[in-house]
Amino acid sequence: MKQKYLYQYFFKSALHSFLFWLFAFVVVVEFIAPFLLNLDQLLDLSQKSDAVMIERNILENLNLSLYVLGFFLGPALGILAGRMLIKKESEALLALNISRGEFFVGSFLFHGCLLASIWLVFVLFYLLVAYIFKQPINAEMILKLILSIFGILLPFLWIGFFSANTKPIAAILLYLIIFLIIPNFGSVELSSAASSQKAVSFFARLASIIVPQTQPFQLAASPFSRLGPATMNLTNWKWLAYGILWSAFLLLSGFLIFRKKDLTDPHS
């Protein structure tokens, strides 16, 4: 009952946010429009000899869109979810019979569900393509489809976590460092090892271990670029556990900080 009004509030708040409309716009441009345009061709060509090539093109396109979704829209909604917790307007609700926990869960659940609904459209579209091209849908594919949500969920949670504790611009900078700069430390690590620079190599390796990785959930590792039957292997389960643990860690630590956080000093 209480949650219903809380979600109503989050929804209205999202509708009045610039980022929400940016989110909606990018979803339409990046995903729905190109694929709706291609769908007729897909159906016509599914029986022809070059069908496999077209199918791969379509799926790569889908995969790229998922990457864009993760890179831009996850953070956009993450900022909305994080800022919702600490903006001055929220005090009018937090002074009511609403606990910090309910507010935290409500904000992340609402914005997370919004993000997941777009991911779900991707998954359904993938299944439709697989069905049209008569591809077998096995357990490994289903697992990879599930795994692909972490490609958007981790950026969403990370930036949501930062936004609840710092200014949006600082949150965006931290996000770029974590998801753009640190992943490239892998190459630093290799070149440093070759030139015997052990310290650089060590720190590069350390950084690539402690920061979250989203690449395994996107592009080459995504199910969209690897059609065809495959057997389930341990790596996929490992990445599933990795995604779940990082998500749980971010949510739990975010909640523990927010639970005891002073809201904005009104004198400031």
Partner 1 sequence: MSEPIIVARELVKYYREHALSRQKKLALDNLSLEIGPGEIVALLGPNGAGKTTFLRILFGLIFPASGEVKVFGQPSEDSSWRKRAGYVSEFYTPPKFLRGLELLEISARVNGKSRKEFLDRLEWLDQALGVKPMLMMRISDYSRGMLQLIAITQALIHDPDLVALDEPTANLDAVSRKRLKLLLAELRKKGKSILLSSHILSEVEELCDRVIFLEKGKLIQQGKTKDLLSFEGGYLVAFKTPNIIPEELVPLGTIASDPELGTTLLETKSEAEKDLAVKILAQNGISIDSLEPKQKTLEDLFLSLVEEKKLEKYFLELVKDQ
Contacts of partner 1 in 4-23 (CB under 8 A):
5-6, 8-9, 12-13, 15-16
Name the DSSP letter for residue 59.
H
Is residue 98 a contact residue for partner 1 (CB under 8 A)? yes
Q: Tokens at residue 35, please?
A: 């694929």
**Cα 211-217-220 angle, rounded to 5 deg:** 115
Estimate to the nearest angstrom the gap between the alpha carbon of 115 and the chain centroid. Answer: 8
179 binds partner 1 (CB under 8 A): no
Output the CA torsion 57→58→64→69 (10° steps): 180
Say if residues 220 and 239 touch (Cβ distance below 8 Å).
no
**What's the rounded Cα separation, in Å, for the pair 172 and 60?**
27
- The residue range among 54-62, 228-236, 240-248, 257-265 that interacts with partner 1, by the rule CB under 8 A, is 257-265
- Asked if 263 is part of the footprint of partner 1 (rule: CB under 8 A), the reply reads yes
In the shown chain, the binding pattern of residues 100 to 129 toward partner 1, with x for contact by CB under 8 A and - for none, equals: x-x---------------------------
Stretch that binds partner 1, among 58-66, 174-182, 215-223, 259-267 (CB under 8 A): 259-267
**Piece of 2-10, 23-31, 47-55, 121-129 that binds partner 1 (CB under 8 A):** 2-10
Burial group, residue 99, by CB count within 10 angstroms (0-12, 13-18, 19+): exposed
Q: Is 94 in the site for partner 1 (CB under 8 A)?
A: yes
* 170 interacts with partner 1 by CB under 8 A: no
Q: What is the DSSP letter of 260?
A: T
Binding site for partner 1 (CB under 8 A): 1-2, 5-6, 8-9, 12-13, 15-16, 88-89, 91-100, 102, 260, 262-263, 265-267
